[in-house]
Amino acid sequence: MADLRMVRVSKSYGQQEVLQALDLVIPEGEFVVLVGPSGCGKSTLLRMIAGLEEITDGEVFISGKKCNDTPPQKRNIAMVFQSYALFPHLNVRENIAYGPKLRGEDAAAIDRKIGWAAEILNLSPYLDRFPKQLSGGQRQRVAMGRAIVREPSLFLYDEPLSNLDAQLRVQMRTEIKALHNKVGTTSIYVTHDQIEAMTLADRIVVMNAGRIEQIGTPLDLFDKPETVFVAKFIGSPSMNMMPATCTDGMLVLDSGAGSVPVPASYKVAEAGKVLVGIRPEHLDIVPSGGFAFDANIVEQTGTDTYVYGSIGGIDSTVMFRERTAIEDGSSLNVMPRTGHLHLFDVATGGRLPEINA
Ligand SMILES: Nc1ncnc2c1ncn2[C@@H]1O[C@H](COP(=O)(O)OP(=O)(O)O)[C@@H](O)[C@H]1O
Ligand SMILES: [Mg+2]
């Protein structure tokens, strides 16, 4: 196993800088998820760690050794992609054994490894099947089997589940987590799916336009997003966000759709402009006061009720755990639950400091 350290790592393609001076330390055994919108540089970063992409500036250390110029095959890294290239003419056993055979390992050792990998990945009943006789999820497991028999010191995953249907994605997600719990190899997992990030990660790295926005545990990011970007990216449906001005201890929405007291944990200057963030599940219906919410569409999932609408012309969502009788087109008053408002700086998008945080 390995730990990874990146110091001011940058990447440019010609004039275009796609990664800007990233610093990241991943201790041995950790499962880290890189998450961010498409094009923010996740794959590029992963490929630089694997040695498939040149590092423009900065340093990458694996197990304390600088490896900027180490070729990929000398890094002992396994990479799992969304398209998994299995050999169609080889059965599962032969696909998994391919690498060890190529390296000239002896037959008994290879057999042991296949047994071990098949056990961990629940592939034992399928060892004699060919790829075309397997489901998408089983093929993905074979691809992971090929990776783990190499006993890599680092696992890199680049959106490995994005080709699978929704149900299988959830199942494979659990299996990847289970695999990590059993094998414990340091892992870096790239996805644009924040739910995947939340459920898999020991720590999440949120990326935006070639920079790191925030690093933290899933619940850190959810409870204390450091920027508006993280606040909107983590959590589904997204956090509601509205500009407001502090007047006489109240946060008055600039849209005129209502006001709420400045939370005790924040200090906001009189006439200070802020962005007020509130998650859909932290708004309660009240008879009057709070914010005026115009409901457009009500969605019942059976478990939850989502109401999509607007607060003072800004698209907003309210979510209820219990069933409600709200109808499309109705007008409500909603009040943020105490302790759940998030305040951000209008200019920088950074979270405002809290007094007891
Ligand atoms: N080989 C390349 N040459 C030029 N630009 C590239 C190359 N590979 C990636 N890029 C650019 O780098 C940025 C980051 O890409 P990528 O790392 O693939 O993003 P992500 O994986 O987060 O979707 C994008 O703007 C992309 O167009
Ligand atoms: Mg990518």
Report which protein residue has its CA nearest ligand 1's atom 8. Answer: 44
The pLDDT, as a whole number, for residue 357 is: 58
Question: Quick one: which H or E segment has residue 162?
Answer: none
Asked if residue 42 has its Cβ within 6 Å of ligand 1, the reply is yes
Atom number in ligand 1 closest to CA 207:
22
202 alpha carbon – ligand 2 mean position (Å): 21
Q: Cα torsion at 234, 235, 237, 238 (round to 10°)? A: -40
Asked if residue 210 has its Cβ within 6 Å of ligand 1, the reply is no
**Tokens 């800004």 correspond to what residue?**
314
Q: For residue range 2-53, what is the model confidence (pLDDT) as tens digits?
A: 999 999 999 999 999 999 999 999 999 999 999 999 999 999 999 999 999 9
Rounded Cα distance, 249 and 335, in Å: 16
Length of the chain: 357
The pLDDT, as a whole number, for residue 144 is: 87
11 alpha carbon – ligand 2 mean position (Å): 15
308 alpha carbon – ligand 1 mean position (Å): 34
In order of their start, the domains of the chain are 4-231 (3.40.50.300), 239-345 (2.40.50.140)
The pLDDT, as a whole number, for residue 36 is: 96
Report which protein residue has its CA nearest ligand 1's atom 1. Answer: 13
Q: List Cα–Cα distances, 302 to 166, 299, 306, 320, 321, in angstroms.
A: 18, 9, 10, 11, 9
Asked if residue 288 has its Cβ within 6 Å of ligand 1, the reply is no
Question: Which parts of the chain register pLDDT below 70?
Answer: 82-83, 357
- Token pair of 341 as six digits: 């408002």
The pLDDT, as a whole number, for residue 142 is: 92
Phi–psi pair at 186, nearest 5 degrees:
-50, 130
Q: Cα torsion at 155, 24, 164, 123 (round to 10°)? A: 20
191 alpha carbon – ligand 1 mean position (Å): 14
Q: Which residues of 224-240 are buried (b: 16+ CB within 10 A; e: fewer)?
A: ebbbbbbbebbbeebbb
Rounded Cα distance, 146 and 318, in Å: 45
What is the distance between the terminal CA atoms of the chain, rounded to a whole angstrom?
Answer: 35
Question: Is the distance from CB of 54 to CB of 14 less than 8 angstroms?
Answer: no
Choosing from 9, 11, 16 the residue with most ligand 1 atoms within 8 A of its CB, the one to mutate for a pocket test is 16
The pLDDT, as a whole number, for residue 1 is: 80
350 alpha carbon – ligand 2 mean position (Å): 26
Smallest-distance ligand from the CA of 162: 2
